[in-house]
Amino acid sequence: MTAPALYSTVASDRTSMCLVRRLPAPPEQVWAAWTRNELLKLWFGPALSGEPGPDSRFVLEGRGQHGDTIICEVLAWKPPHHMEITWRYTGEHDSKVELNLAPTDDGQTDLTLEHHQLTTPADPVDYAAGWHMYSDSLHAHLTGRPPLVDSDARYSELLPEYTRVARS
């Protein structure tokens, strides 16, 4: 079996991770996928309450069998290129997610997602694999394909690769 291409890196101090990936749509379309509940639910999971927007608070439900909730508060909102949110995953401390969308010359978007302030029990390696899995689902959505049918299986495929790289 060929190892999957990896899009995320974990900081040496293991308190943050960064995902960089080219997406096949302009920033405005990628921004809409992140900020409009009717699109967000197609690739990430449903918003249980609220909606992403300036100074807003919203609650997401993650994909997969865990279905854990994520409480988010918007800290910075600069459509369609930059958003920062607090991120409180079930059973974890607050962390921060920073999303940057840069247009490319060929009409696509370079996504940079940085997840900071990860402290125990949060594991940046888990987040690296998780954000990779979600970016796969977002990529599928942006190309008109259905999202991952089994996100847990994709995550389970990615986690050993990210663990191996983080240890090397």
Contacts of 49 (CB under 8 A, 6+ apart): 58, 59
The number of C-alpha atoms within 13 Å of 5 and in the hemisphere containing its C-beta is 7
pTM listed for this prediction: 0.92
**Quick count: other Cβ atoms within 10 Å of Cβ 81?**
15
Position 23 scores a pLDDT of: 98
Does the pLDDT at position 100 exceed 70? Answer: yes
CATH class held by domain 8-167: alpha beta
Alpha helices in the chain (DSSP H): 27-35, 37-43, 124-142, 151-167
What are 36-52's pLDDT values in tens digits?
Answer: 999 999 999 888 999 99
pLDDT, average across residues 69-82 = 97
Flag whether pLDDT at 83 surpasses 90. yes
Question: What are the pLDDT digits (tens) for 124-162?
Answer: 999 999 999 999 999 999 999 987 778 889 999 999 999
The answer to whether the Cα torsion of 150, 152, 158, 160 is positive or negative is negative
